[in-house]
């Protein structure tokens, strides 16, 4: 009697515990907003995602706050871009004392080196902005899916299904970006952005990008860099320069004015927009950028 009641109690507790374990989302930290969106797409209702660098934030110059260390400490999975994008992440992980598994989203990407633009020479650096090629985003999604299943094996089927559905959307997105850019004449496939964040986009979709700041928004563009870009914009009749959501617009406005180029719209390189803005998800960001480039370059 007593035993069976005790047994029932244990059973009830066990059921209650497993039910509450199911209801408790897997805490995941992603280093920046674009990665945060990809984790949400794959994790769905099973995960609670915190992006350390939020909408319109600049991950290059980010300085973590104590609250960020707490988020990392509480996480079961930390998803980072890699390729040197988050210079602050190793120290943050160490300082937080977290036991979280770390997934490097760009681990399957073939990195490209920054291209030297014209006569201003930068030291060769790995370009971290791999997500700007949709094919690379697909590889990010696979890494995230496997990382989530690793820390939450009970969710594997859900993560597999979510990832498969999202990968199909990425295939459609890739075709859409190509179609949007297809009409740009060969001679007009050149643009200037503030920092060199579109190297993967350019390589994948057949445009040529120049940027005065190099692959990190933190490196200062010197007067010499800017003068060289202005000369090149004039000489090559580069049709448009673009503003980025993470960079000061004044530099680009100056280059457009002095180089005689059109100031194109605002494009999203390293961060999403706020939820109500034009680029609140990765899919919408890539569509928005392709539309902006196409509109300014079509002729
Ligand atoms: Zn960047």
What is the distance of C-alpha 274 from the center of its chain?
14
Positions of CATH 3.40.50.1980 in the chain: 22-174, 183-297
Question: Phi and psi (nearest 5°) for 249?
Answer: -75, -15
CB neighbour list of residue 6: distance below 8 Å, 6 or more residues apart? none
Q: Are 80 and 55 in contact (CB under 8 A)?
A: no
Query: Position of tokens 């090559």?
Result: 236
Residues paired with 28 in a beta bridge: 49, 77
Ligand 1 centroid to Cα of residue 119, in Å, is 22
| 198/114 Cα distance (integer angstroms) | 10
Give the predicted TM-score (pTM) of the model. Answer: 0.88
Six-digit token string for 173: 């997105």
Ligand 1 centroid to Cα of residue 208, in Å, is 17
Ligand 1 centroid to Cα of residue 15, in Å, is 48
Ligand 1 centroid to Cα of residue 246, in Å, is 8
- Please state whether beta strands 47-53 and 77-80 pair in parallel, antiparallel, or not at all (unpaired): unpaired
Ligand 1 centroid to Cα of residue 33, in Å, is 13
- Check residue 264 and give its pLDDT: 87
Query: Please, what CATH class does the domain formed by 183-297 belong to?
Result: alpha beta
Average pLDDT per consecutive 10 residues, the chain (299 residues; last block may be shorter): 60 54 86 98 98 96 97 98 96 98 98 61 76 98 98 98 98 98 92 89 93 75 86 90 86 91 92 97 98 90
- Check residue 122 and give its pLDDT: 46
- Check residue 5 and give its pLDDT: 65
| 191/208 Cα distance (integer angstroms) | 6
**Sign of the Cα pseudo-torsion (152, 155, 160, 164, in order):** negative
**Sign of the Cα pseudo-torsion (185, 286, 56, 116, in order):** negative
Ligand 1 centroid to Cα of residue 12, in Å, is 52
- Check residue 40 and give its pLDDT: 98
Superfamily of structural domain 22-174: Nitrogenase molybdenum iron protein domain (3.40.50.1980)
Ligand 1 centroid to Cα of residue 19, in Å, is 42
Task: Give the residue among 211, 288, 251, 247 at the shortest CA–CA distance from 59.
Answer: 247
Query: Position of tokens 């291209």?
Result: 115
Six-digit token string for 71: 């988020």
Ligand 1 centroid to Cα of residue 270, in Å, is 5
Ligand 1 centroid to Cα of residue 215, in Å, is 6
- Check residue 234 and give its pLDDT: 92
DSSP 8-state code for residue 293:
H
Task: Give the residue among 107, 105, 103, 83 at the shortest CA–CA distance from 93.
Answer: 103
Q: Are 269 and 246 in contact (CB under 8 A)?
A: yes
Six-digit token string for 150: 């690793």
Ligand 1 centroid to Cα of residue 60, in Å, is 6
Task: Give the residue among 240, 210, 239, 236 at the shortest CA–CA distance from 225.
Answer: 210
């Amino acid at each position: 009697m007593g035993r069976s009641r005790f047994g029932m109690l244990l059973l009830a507790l066990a059921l209650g515990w497993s039910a509450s374990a199911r209801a408790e989302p897997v805490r995941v930290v992603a280093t920046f907003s674009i990665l945060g969106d990809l984790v949400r797409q794959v994790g769905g209702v099973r995960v609670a995602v915190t992006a350390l660098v939020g909408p319109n934030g600049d991950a290059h110059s980010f300085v973590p706050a104590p609250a960020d260390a707490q988020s990392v400490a509480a996480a079961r999975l930390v998803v980072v871009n890699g390729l040197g994008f988050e210079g602050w992440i190793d120290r943050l992980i160490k300082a937080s004392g977290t036991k979280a598994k770390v997934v490097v989203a760009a681990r399957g990407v073939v990195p490209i080196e920054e291209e030297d633009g014209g006569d201003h020479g930068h030291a060769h650096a790995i370009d971290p902005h791999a997500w700007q090629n949709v094919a690379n985003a697909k590889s990010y999604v696979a890494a995230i899916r496997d990382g989530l299943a690793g820390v939450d094996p009970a969710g594997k089927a859900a993560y597999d299904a979510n990832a498969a559905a999202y990968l199909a959307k990425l295939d459609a997105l890739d075709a859409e970006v190509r179609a949007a850019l297809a009409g740009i004449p060969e001679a007009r496939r050149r643009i200037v952005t503030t920092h060199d964040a579109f190297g993967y986009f350019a390589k994948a979709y057949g445009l040529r990008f120049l940027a005065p700041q190099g692959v990190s928004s933190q490196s200062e563009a010197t007067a010499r860099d800017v003068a060289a870009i202005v000369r090149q914009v004039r000489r090559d009749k580069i049709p448009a320069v673009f503003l980025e959501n993470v960079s000061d617009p004044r530099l680009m406005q100056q280059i457009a004015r002095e180089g005689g180029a059109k100031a194109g719209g605002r494009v999203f390189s390293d961060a999403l927009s706020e939820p109500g803005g034009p680029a609140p998800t990765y899919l919408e960001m890539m569509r928005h950028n392709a539309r902006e480039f196409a509109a300014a370059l079509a002729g």
